[in-house]
Chain A
Amino acid sequence: MALYPLPIARWTVAAIAILMFVVLPLSVHEYYLSVVNLASIAIVGALGLNILVGYTGQISLGHGAFMSVGAYTAANFAVRLGFPFWLSLPLGGLMAALIGVIVGIPSLRIKGLYLAIATLAGQLIIEWTINHVTWISGGMQASIEVPRPELFGFVIDTQREMYFFVLIFVVLAIVAAMNLVRSRIGRAFIAVRDHDIAAEIIGINIFRYKLLAFAISSFYAGVTGVLYTYYLGVATYEQFQITTSIDYLAMIIIGGLGSVLGSIFGAIFVTLLPILIRYAMEAFGGLLFSSAAVLNIIPNLRLILFGALIIFFLVVEPEGLSRLWRNIRNYFRVWPFAY
């Protein structure tokens, strides 16, 4: 399968690259750029989770914890040994991959519900460990401050510089994921998802590929955690609790399971949702409710919309936003003719 099915795809990718690398950073206000940064980091994590859930058909409720593993590993290397980011970032990813494989080992014996619960246990145990082992988490607050990333003496400090820093990793992550899923490994993942016994019979080593999926997926998660850490300037477990795991599951369900584009859509959508709700409530909420009530409404409304969207997409459109996008595109491709 070619990366570019049509010539126009090449031009679209070039146009998006120019938009992302030149137009957006030069034209957009710092605050909006920070939103873009958060969405970009989320894209990396969503891609990783989609490789595991969407492509390989395993489930993980522990991706928040894998991110925290990456975050604390990188923070420890950066602070104690003074490693630069280009060393601590892959190390964080590798450590997360290792832990991910350990948590994924039960997937060799169990699947579906049992795996969901086993990874949930992984999430809670990792969270507890990081919280209680001060050697990892550095003191009572369980948070470590990290220095700003630095390259050849150039310190990446402002939102705009951070934007390019993050964008490079996002592009790497997207390209790697697109190539992975059309390679032998990606096809093996899909075969395991579609029918594990049939996959075994045609010569795919299920155990190896399941663990590989966990490793790759957790590597992505670990890198996401490191990026968050460098972005915020502090590694804190509060960023990576069970709700984070569920946020990322929501991203890939809303965006579309088993789709790289879907992961991107989903990550953007879920990052923007609370911001849009806040704007909407600040603009119109005051007309209906008191200001104290509005403060109560915003987080709850976010949870409700979140859950409702997950259920809606699962029931009505299991292939998510990416399917909707494909429908729209196919409609216009032949427009104004029906077929």
Chain B
Amino acid sequence: MLEFDWQFFGLLISNGALIGLMYSLIALGFVLVYKATDAINFAQGEFVFIAGLVIAAMVVLYGAPLWLAIVVGLVAMIAFGFGLERVMLRPLIGRPIVAVIMATIGLAAVLRGVGPLAWGAETKALRLPISDDPLVLGPLFIPPIQLLGASVSLLFLASFGLFFFKSRKGIAMRAVADSQQVAMAMGINVERYFALAWAMTGVVSALGGIIWGSMLGVDIQLSVVGLKVFPVVILGGLDSILGAIVGGLVIGLAENIAAGYIDPLVGGGTKDFVPYLLMILALMVRPYGIFGRETIERI
């Protein structure tokens, strides 16, 4: 009988939890849009990619200081969010949900093409001013970037939660999500809140781009992170911020543990496989997710 390796297990757990929280950050962008506008953003990963690329290109190609690059990236993504809502999403209001899904798939293709065309396809390093040496906590090694990512992610999840439940704008946004017609009748400017939701997604994507970009390097592979968003949001519930946290944690832990123990047996790739298996199970048992609003529709 093989001795159970507690240190290895602990590493998998801590690493999985931190990565999971970083997934939550990207999932948050998805949830924000869905919550407010009922639109599904299949280009979430590409949002993260393009934001990371703008910031990395500012630093690497034009020699800007990091803070300036981050400010430019944030402003660019906010402007992009507003513009996108005006040009693409607004004409699609009231059309079948399939149309919005396919439009964002088209958007994903455009972003994948525009980024490398404008700033080159090679991997760019995005270095944050933190050390690479892992923090040693007893038997665990924790890379500082993951710790930073997880804390930023928790911070934002908490502040968006507060925003939605305490602030006037947040409550208006929930009203819009609940019923657009009633919200309009109450004097809420629905289109403005749609635009606001997309701009907020832009901000979250920019942060995701910084954190994931500095961990993986900025190239087209960054957008693959977006594929992990779907298991996270389905598991947690599409319109729940708490769900994004829990879903992210579950997916991060599951894929890390599975990769740690199953990868040696099948020769890799478990990380890309297990989240989707979990998601299929979730879809079969509880399609609205752990914390999602349950809409009963019988056919």
Q: Which residues of A contact B (CB under 8 A)?
A: 53, 57, 59, 106, 109-110, 112-114, 116-118, 120-121, 124-125, 128, 131-132, 196-197, 200, 206, 246, 249-250, 253, 296-297, 299-304, 306-311, 314-315, 318
* Shortest distance from the beta carbon of B91 to any chain A beta carbon, whole Å: 5
> Does the CB pair B106–A307 fall under 8 Å?
yes
B28 interfacial contact with A, CB 8 Å: no
B275-287 CB contact bits vs A (8 Å, 1 = yes)? 0110110011001
168-212 of chain B: CB within 8 A of chain A:
none
- Complexed CA–CA distance, A253 and B101 (Å): 12
B97-122 CB contact bits vs A (8 Å, 1 = yes)? 11101110111111111101100110
Please name the residue on chain B nearest to A315 by beta carbon.
B91
Q: Which residues of B contact A311 (CB under 8 A)?
A: 88, 103, 106-107, 110
B273 interfacial contact with A, CB 8 Å: yes
* Shortest distance from the beta carbon of B231 to any chain A beta carbon, whole Å: 8
Given A109-B287, A300-B117, check contact A306 B267 (CB 8 Å): no
B96, B117, B267: the one contacting A132 at CB < 8 Å is B267
> Does the CB pair A296–B116 fall under 8 Å?
yes
Given A113-B97, A300-B113, A310-B109, check contact A128 B272 (CB 8 Å): yes
B266, B276, B287: the one contacting A124 at CB < 8 Å is B276
Please name the residue on chain A nearest to B110 by beta carbon.
A307
Q: Which residues of B contact A (CB under 8 A)?
A: 40, 42, 88, 91-92, 95-99, 101-103, 105-114, 116-117, 120-121, 227, 230-231, 234, 238, 266-267, 269, 272-273, 276-277, 279-280, 283-284, 287, 299
Known pairs A128-B272, A315-B88 / 4 extra A-B pairs, C-beta < 8 Å? A59-B102, A249-B105, A303-B113, A304-B110
A59, A125, A197, A301: the one contacting B101 at CB < 8 Å is A59
> Does the CB pair B92–A314 fall under 8 Å?
yes
B102, B109, B267, B287: the one contacting A114 at CB < 8 Å is B287
A-B contact pairs, 18 of them (CB 8 A): A57-B96, A59-B101, A106-B284, A112-B97, A113-B40, A113-B97, A116-B98, A120-B227, A121-B280, A124-B272, A125-B273, A300-B114, A300-B117, A301-B117, A307-B108, A310-B109, A315-B88, A318-B99
* Shortest distance from the beta carbon of A73 to any chain B beta carbon, whole Å: 21
- Complexed CA–CA distance, A297 and B42 (Å): 24
Q: Which residues of B contact A132 (CB under 8 A)?
A: 266-267, 269
> Does the CB pair B98–A250 fall under 8 Å?
no
Q: Which residues of B contact A109 (CB under 8 A)?
A: 283-284, 287
> Does the CB pair A197–B299 fall under 8 Å?
yes
B101, B109, B277, B280: the one contacting A303 at CB < 8 Å is B109
- Complexed CA–CA distance, A121 and B232 (Å): 13
Q: Which residues of A contact B112 (CB under 8 A)?
A: 300, 303, 307
A200, A249, A296, A302: the one contacting B102 at CB < 8 Å is A249
* Shortest distance from the beta carbon of A113 to any chain B beta carbon, whole Å: 5
> Does the CB pair B106–A250 fall under 8 Å?
yes
Given A106-B283, A117-B234, A128-B269, check contact A303 B110 (CB 8 Å): yes
- Complexed CA–CA distance, A114 and B297 (Å): 13
> Does the CB pair B109–A307 fall under 8 Å?
yes
> Does the CB pair B106–A121 fall under 8 Å?
no
> Does the CB pair B98–A59 fall under 8 Å?
yes
Please name the residue on chain A nearest to B40 by beta carbon.
A113
- Complexed CA–CA distance, A314 and B284 (Å): 31
* Shortest distance from the beta carbon of A178 to any chain B beta carbon, whole Å: 23
- Complexed CA–CA distance, A318 and B287 (Å): 29
Please name the residue on chain B nearest to A297 by beta carbon.
B117
> Does the CB pair A110–B113 fall under 8 Å?
no
Q: Which residues of B contact A59 (CB under 8 A)?
A: 98, 101-102
> Does the CB pair A246–B105 fall under 8 Å?
yes
Q: Which residues of A contact B117 (CB under 8 A)?
A: 296-297, 300-301, 304
- Complexed CA–CA distance, A57 and B96 (Å): 9
Q: Which 10 pairs between the two chains have the least Cβ-Cβ distance?
A: A310-B106, A307-B109, A303-B113, A307-B110, A304-B113, A307-B106, A300-B117, A121-B276, A300-B113, A112-B97
- Complexed CA–CA distance, A131 and B270 (Å): 12
A118, A200, A297: the one contacting B283 at CB < 8 Å is A118
B105, B231, B287: the one contacting A310 at CB < 8 Å is B105
- Complexed CA–CA distance, A106 and B285 (Å): 11
Please name the residue on chain B nearest to A131 by beta carbon.
B269
Q: Which residues of B contact A300 (CB under 8 A)?
A: 112-114, 116-117, 121
> Does the CB pair B98–A121 fall under 8 Å?
no
- Specify which of A59, A246, A250, A307 lies most central, judged by the most chain B CB atoms within 10 Å of its CB: A307
> Does the CB pair A124–B273 fall under 8 Å?
yes
> Does the CB pair B269–A125 fall under 8 Å?
no
Given A117-B230, A315-B92, check contact A304 B98 (CB 8 Å): no
Please name the residue on chain A nearest to B278 by beta carbon.
A121
Please name the residue on chain B nearest to A58 by beta carbon.
B98
- Complexed CA–CA distance, A307 and B88 (Å): 12
> Does the CB pair A113–B101 fall under 8 Å?
yes
> Does the CB pair B109–A304 fall under 8 Å?
yes
